[in-house]
Every structure is written in structure tokens, then in C-alpha cells.
Amino acid sequence: MKNKKYDPKKIEPKWQRYWEGERLFEVTEDTRKEKYYLLEMFPYPSGKIHMGHVRNYVIGDVMARFKMMQGYNVLHPMGWDAFGMPAENAAIENRSHPAKWTYENIDYMRSQLKKMGLSYDWTREFATCDPEYYRWEQWLFIQMYKKGLAYKDSSTVNFCPSCQTVLANEQVEGGGCWRCETTVEQKELEQWFFQITKYAEDLLKACDELTGWPERVITMQKNWIGKSIGAEIDFPLEEGKRVITVFTTRQDTVFGATFMSLAAEHPLALELSRGKEQEKEVKEFVERVKKEDKIKRTSEDYAKEGVFTGSHCLNPLTGAKMPIYVANFVLMEYGTGAVMAVPAHDQRDLDFARKYGLEVIVVVQPPEGPLDFQTMTEAYLGEGVMVNSGQFNDLSSTEFREKIVEYLEEKELGRSAINYRLRDWGISRQRYWGAPIPVIYCDECGTQTVPEDALPVVLPAELELTGKGGSPLASSPDFVKAECPNCGRPGRRETDTMDTFVESSWYFDRYACPDYHQGMLDRKRVDYWMPVDQYIGGIEHAILHLLYSRFFTRVLQELSLIDFAEPFTRLLTQGMVCKETNECEEHGLLFPREVKEGKCILCGKQAIVGRIEKMSKSKKNVVDPDEQIERYGVDTIRLFILSDCPPDKELEWRDEGIEGSFRFLGRIWRMVHDNLESIANITPYRGTSSLEGESLKLHRLTHKTIKQVTEDIDRRFHFNTAIARIRELVNYIYQFNLPETSREATESGKAVLREAIEAVIVLLSPYVPHITEELWEVLGHKPSIVQLPWPGYYKDAIQEEEIPIMLQVNGKLRSKITVGADCSEQEIKEAALANNRIQEYTRGKEIKRVILVPGKLVNIVV
């Protein structure tokens, strides 16, 4: 027998070619089969696949292959989230075109994915920068515009005066532009918005139905939507008839409101000081606060400051005069941009009141006793009994909170109100590499959408990107020039492009019908495949991408394009890939390859091993997937990723772990080849003849393993424990071949051995598909394993006839016995009490109780 060595380089390309040639992963709608849509978050084509991607796709691939074997019609597509800033920046740097950079990256990354043996239906692949994709996004924009779900409004944005562009919050670093470090300004700008707030309540409510999502993602979504139930209260100005409306969740404390705080952006902020001695001071303050970027304004050490406007308003319940301040901590974006300040019961208001010497009135008295309004430095936030609140004194604050709303409504001083933290989604970007917003402005007819038959509005191919000066599209006269669709006179095109989150909000629908040209979605096919049964991706998308996708799905449903509200039934958020960092005193952080035997290869000094951190280029603790695959083959990488820990936990990349996985594959390789001779023409045991001794044990373990592996994958995604169980079976198979048990080499023994070996191969196949296909062939079968049904187990086979029973005295383990499975409770108890060790512990003591847990233990209480 030729004992060929395990050589992944030979077998992996072979099977990848086979799967592709046989088109095993290409699927169509098949109503006879139950569908299963498995999706991993598609990547941005940044250049190379990194370990985080590898982990994501490997987890998905195991699930996909497992579900295929379970008989589902599995849709498992892949594509590219291809619009975005890096392409544009690379183009500016290299004086090339973003499309060139993007498609080159896609080609390279696709080849990387293909080397990983992933079960994708590549016929469905698309890139979102393809006009055939974004034309439907533009079409949808038009439908949304018609329904009022897309609208234009002005809003405050981070703006870099040097780059002449809007920056997202995360692109502002320490108050400066991430690219040129110029101080970022706040600027009012006309922007396109999607009205996601219309769905705030529905998105929030439906969270509770997302039972297949991780709890923390649900919590994050709920917090992001941020529902507050409270009231709006109108505070009349001292002069004139106008009112300042505030939103509050503590309307019960309205009698304690002693001053008013306005946001700097509040329309009344400047107006109220006009002509007053405070005018100049207020103006300066407002200008200063407005200029400060959001990051600084929301930072922890931001000092709470304010200025008096010189005007007053009246407390609508007490009639008391309340000075109106402009305060830097009041946000225009939340509520009404005005806050009734109740210093006794709000810490910020108390700090503010103490700083500027304002009145403090206690209106909620804690159960512990009265508060001293003159000396208190900590606001009382809890519940209690109402005081200083006129006819409402002595009510509980919780009760009063409801009553006061009725009262306010009756007197027309206020109303119940609900506020959400969620804001409408600003989608305008002053960028080239994005989907153009399909709008034309006409001096006569105003804002017009592009006619549907004129879609897509394609990005101009010839355009020099300079990185300076506003929307790049605005510098292309050919692009801007457009005829008004309504009157035919010259108009100009919208030059902003859409946020790239728009593309990723519906790509999963498009995978169902990527070749459909008559419309955005082919209803029939989408109905068959959607929703996604299992979505897998990084926790970093817990809020934005997932929330936007849920929003879009509702919009599509409202437009009758689809008939479901939630796109992702089950969600798995995989953990990060981490590795220790290495540092040299002289050369700083080191890449893994710069460390040999714990020493820096540049100077030979001992490298300092740092914390285990998320793999990142800046920490230099990155491992290149290509190098690893080259060295060990992809099956080893897949096995390591899956066997080290559960998928939702962070994975620590360890070279020793990789070695261990590689060794294990060598072990199963030998397991097959070393036994090949004896099991070559044997039919696997099928439970027909009776078994005893080692054969029975092996048969039993085989079926126990099948049961546990199936449950670990299906119920909990615990691939690591599933693999551990398979390893146990492999260890047992090795035991089975020991010389002293070779008398078992009877026909039934061989049949059981073959059954066990085949079970190992089949159970491992979703994890390490190449080596298992190869060994399956070595065993004399025709490919492919992925077309086999997932193995079932015999209930009878896992039934033990002898059960170990633990014996405890007072809850402490003292002995163990083995009893027959058919033993009665009484017999077990008697056997336990008769046990020598137990007698030592019970001698001379009164036995108070004997507790029996069937099949597990006996506990004797003395």
C-alpha cells in the first residue's frame, strides 16, 4: 500500500475545479425543496482579503454545506460593495480611475476567495458600482421621492474648508480633517434625506420579533432608535404672544423649572437678545459654539457653559419668571432644541444653576426625607412625593407624571409626546465614486426626478479627480448639463452621490434575481428566496447597515415590490480575529515575520510580547491569509478558525494552533490510508448483525458523535465542540487498531470500522471540504460528499446497556458504580449503599435521605 503524504497543494485545486466544473453550487428556484438562504456580509473591495473576511466566509461556508447536505436548496451568493472613498482616494493618488482600481481589486479578491473552496453560486456575483445595479437604486430613489420618503433639507454637517467637502463624523479626527488636518467647521448644507424616522416605531417594535438575532444587537438597535415618552410643554415668552416649546420626560417636575436653556442653533437664541445689552455676548457665544465640531461638543471634558439672553419666559403653571439662557450642552437635533431646566432634579441643570446663581426649587421629595435646595449639589433623579407643586402636592411623582399631561392638554399648555433619538438618514455625499442621485433642477419647474426611461444616470467615465473643491461631478459640465424633464429647458443635474450604505441596504434582494432587467426585483424569485435565513457578519455593522436594511425592506414592502418586513431571520455576529503584538525596544512594533524565536530579526534583541489585540495594520499583528494557505493549505486554516472557539467569540491567532490543525488533518489522512487494506471492499456496518466488545463500543461512539455533531452545528453553531467530538472518534478509531484489539478484525469489526471512518469523513466535510472529498474518493466512492445526505444516527445504537452512576455522600463525590440500564431505582440504591467506599463514609451515621437522579447519580445524606 502506497502511503501517500497529505499534500493539500495537490488536492485543493483539484476539488475546487471539480465543484466548479460540476456547477454544484449553482441553484435555481425549486419548489419541491425547502430553500435556505445563507448570506455573509459582502466585502468592500479594498485590495486583499484579510483574516476577518476569511473567518466570516468560512463560518458561512460550513453552514451552507451543512444545509445542502440536510437537503435544503441553498442560496449562497457573493458580490462586492464596490462604491466608496478608498477607491476615490487611490485614484487621486495614482491619477487613475476609481473603476480601474475597484475592478482590479475585485479580480484579485475573487481569486483569493476561490482558493478557499467556498460554496458560492458565482453566477449571481455583481458589484454595486455596476450601472445595471445602481440604476435600480436610482429608480427606487424616484419612487421614494414620489412618496415623500426622500426629501431635501438643510442640516448641519462637518465641513472641511480646504477639501471643500462634507465629512462623516468618523472622518473627523481630533477636530481636524482626517486627510489635511484643517479644522473642521459646522456648516448648513442642503442635503438629501431618507425618512427613516417614519418607521422608528415599527423598527423598534419589530425588534422583539427578531428572535434569531443576538440580544446585544437588538439592544444596540433599540438604543439607537432611542424612544422617550414624555410631553411637550409650551412656555410663553414674557413679551409678545409666542411660546417656547420644550420636550421633557419629566413633566412631573414642571413646577421646579426655574430657567430655560436653548441650543445655540435655536431660532430664538439670537432673536431674544436683539437690542439688549447681552446681544453682543450672546452672538459671540452662539458663533463659537456653532463652530465647534460635534466630537468636541460631545466629549466628556466639554465644560457646560451658557449666556443669558436678556429675555424671560413664564412657567405656564406657576407663572414664575424664568430667565432664558443659551447653553452649549443643549442639542438642536434632539427634541425641540429647548430644555426646561429643573435644577433640583437634573444634574446638568443643577451644575448650571450653581454656576450662574439661579434658583433651585425642589418638587419631588425623596422617601428618605426633604432635600435642602440651598446646599444640594446632587440632583435628585428618583421618584417621590410632589411638593411645591400647587394643588398637586402629595401625589406620587409617577402618578403625577400621567396626570399633568391630561391637565396640560386640557388647558392647552402642552401635550403628550414621544421623541426618538433616531434621525433621518442624510444620504448626500460630495463624492464621485457613488451612485448619482437621479434629480434635475430647473429654474422654472424646480426639483425634477430623472424620467425612469432615462435611467441609469451613469457616472462620467472621463473625469479628473483632484481631491479639492466640492462635488467632483460638479466639475463635469457634460454631466451637469441636463434638460428639464418637465419643460425641456436647460436644467442642471444633482451632483451629489448617495451614501454607500444605500447599496448595501438591498443587495441581498438582488442576489435572488441579479440578471433581471425588467425591474428592480423579480417578485417571483425574491418571494422564493427571501428573507435571508442566516446572515453572518461583523458586529461593527450592528446598527447602521442592519437598521438601514430593515428600513429599506419596509420601504420595498410598502411599494409592493416584496412582501416581508424583516430581511434577516437569523443573525450571527462573528468575533474579531486577534493576535498578540510584538515590539522591539529599538525598532518599535514588529510584524510576525520580523520576530524569530522571540527575537527581533533586525537587531536580535528580545521582542516584547504585548497584549492580544484585534489584527490591524497599525498594530502590525496581521497574518496574511495567502501566506498561510500557501504554507498549510486552506483546509488547515478553515479547521483552525472553526475549532479554536465558538464563532461569536474573538479568535486568537496562534501559530501552534495552526500546526495542531495541520497535524490533525495528517492524522485523518493516515487513518484512512492505514486502514484502507482491511476495509477496502467492506460495506459499512448498517446495524444488521449483532455486535459485542470493541466493535459495539466503536459503533456506539460513531452514532453518538453523529448526534452531538449535528446538534452542535444546528442548534448553537458550536463548531469547536463538534470538531472536538470528531477528534474523540478519531482517537478511538486509532485505539481500535491497537494490536491487542486486532482480534476484532472480523467482518463485522471491519464493517464497524468502515462505518466509523466514513462518519468522520462525512462529518468533517463541511469544515475541510477538500481533504474529505479526496479521502472519500480514496475509499472508493464517487464524488461529491456535499451531495450526500447528512448522516442520521440510530437511536438504538446510542443506547448504553451499562450506565456509570456517581455516588455522593452529602453532595461530595465518593465513589462510582456501573449498573445495567434496566436496573430498577431500588436496585441502584441498594447497590449504592452496599458500596465499600460509601460504607466507610456512612458507617455509624444515620442515613437521612437517599436521592437518586436516574442515569446519573445517587446522593446519600447522613
Partner RNA sequence: GCGAGGGUGGCGGAAUUGGUAGACGCGCUGGAUUUAGGAUCCAGUGGGCAACCGUGGGGGUUCGAUUCCCCCUCCUCGCACCA
CA distance 330 to 309: 15
Say which residues have a Cβ less than 8 Å from residue 4's Cβ, sequence separation at least 6: 673
Write out the three cell numbers for 466: 483632484
Whether residue 531 is preceded by a cis peptide bond, meaning omega within 30 degrees of 0, is yes
Q: What is the phi-psi region of residue 429: left when phi exceeds 0, alpha when psi lies from -120 to 50, beta otherwise? A: beta
Q: Which residue, among 109, 111, 30, has the nearest Cα to 73 in the 3D structure? A: 30
CA distance 425 to 134: 19
Return the residue matching grid coordinates 493618488.
93
CA distance 650 to 640: 13
3-state secondary structure at position 60: helix
Dihedral sign for Cα atoms in the order 166, 169, 174, 178: negative
The nearer residue to RNA, 645 or 682, going by C-beta atoms, is 645
Q: Least distance (Å) from RNA to the CB of residue 707?
A: 8
CA distance 224 to 8: 47
The nearer residue to RNA, 466 or 731, going by C-beta atoms, is 731
The nearer residue to RNA, 302 or 792, going by C-beta atoms, is 302
Pinpoint the alpha helices (H) of 337-396.
347-356
668, amino acid identity: I
Contact between 764 and 668 under an 8 Å Cβ cutoff? The reply is yes
Dihedral sign for Cα atoms in the order 851, 857, 858, 862: negative
Question: What would you report as the CA-atom Rg of the chain, rounded to the nearest whole angstrom?
Answer: 35
3-state helix, strand, coil split of the chain in percent (to 5) is 40, 20, 40
CA distance 794 to 707: 9
The nearer residue to RNA, 167 or 513, going by C-beta atoms, is 167
Q: Least distance (Å) from RNA to the CB of residue 803?
A: 9
The nearer residue to RNA, 603 or 813, going by C-beta atoms, is 813
Q: Least distance (Å) from RNA to the CB of residue 858?
A: 9
Write out the three cell numbers for 660: 495542531
Write out the three cell numbers for 424: 433621518
Q: Which residue, among 146, 142, 91, 168, has the nearest Cα to 494 in the 3D structure? A: 142
Dihedral sign for Cα atoms in the order 134, 139, 140, 146: positive
The nearer residue to RNA, 92 or 262, going by C-beta atoms, is 262
CA distance 501 to 83: 9
Q: Which residue, among 507, 425, 532, 515, has the nearest Cα to 144 in the 3D structure? A: 425
Terminal-residue alpha carbon distance, the chain: 63
CA distance 164 to 564: 41
Q: Least distance (Å) from RNA to the CB of residue 596?
A: 16
The nearer residue to RNA, 35 or 345, going by C-beta atoms, is 345
The nearer residue to RNA, 253 or 448, going by C-beta atoms, is 253
Say which residues have a Cβ less than 8 Å from residue 216's Cβ, sequence separation at least 6: 542
The nearer residue to RNA, 588 or 739, going by C-beta atoms, is 739
The nearer residue to RNA, 42 or 664, going by C-beta atoms, is 664
CA distance 470 to 426: 17
The nearer residue to RNA, 299 or 787, going by C-beta atoms, is 299
The nearer residue to RNA, 114 or 294, going by C-beta atoms, is 294
Residue-wise over 609-644: b if at least 16 C-beta within 10 A, else e? eeeeeebeeebbbbbebeebbeebbbbbbbbbbbbb
Q: Least distance (Å) from RNA to the CB of residue 670?
A: 6
Write out the three cell numbers for 49: 482579503
Contact between 85 and 47 under an 8 Å Cβ cutoff? The reply is no
Write out the three cell numbers for 673: 490510508
Between helices 634-643 and 8-22, what is the axis angle to 10°?
A: 90
Q: Least distance (Å) from RNA to the CB of residue 651?
A: 7
Q: Least distance (Å) from RNA to the CB of residue 535?
A: 18
Q: Least distance (Å) from RNA to the CB of residue 402?
A: 15
Q: Least distance (Å) from RNA to the CB of residue 304?
A: 5
CA distance 422 to 419: 9
The nearer residue to RNA, 530 or 764, going by C-beta atoms, is 764
The nearer residue to RNA, 673 or 781, going by C-beta atoms, is 673
Q: Least distance (Å) from RNA to the CB of residue 356?
A: 15
Contact between 62 and 116 under an 8 Å Cβ cutoff? The reply is no
The nearer residue to RNA, 355 or 856, going by C-beta atoms, is 856
Q: What is the DSSP letter of 212?
A: B
Angle at 433 between CA 97 and CA 109, to 5 degrees: 70
The nearer residue to RNA, 640 or 776, going by C-beta atoms, is 640
Q: Least distance (Å) from RNA to the CB of residue 717?
A: 10
Say which residues have a Cβ less than 8 Å from residue 446's Cβ, sequence separation at least 6: none
Q: What is the phi-psi region of residue 326: left when phi exceeds 0, alpha when psi lies from -120 to 50, beta otherwise? A: beta
What phi, psi does 571 have (nearest 5°)? -130, 135
Whether residue 784 is preceded by a cis peptide bond, meaning omega within 30 degrees of 0, is yes
The nearer residue to RNA, 86 or 646, going by C-beta atoms, is 646
Q: Least distance (Å) from RNA to the CB of residue 109?
A: 25
The nearer residue to RNA, 458 or 813, going by C-beta atoms, is 813
Q: Least distance (Å) from RNA to the CB of residue 256?
A: 11
Return the residue matching grid coordinates 524565536.
597
Q: Least distance (Å) from RNA to the CB of residue 679?
A: 18
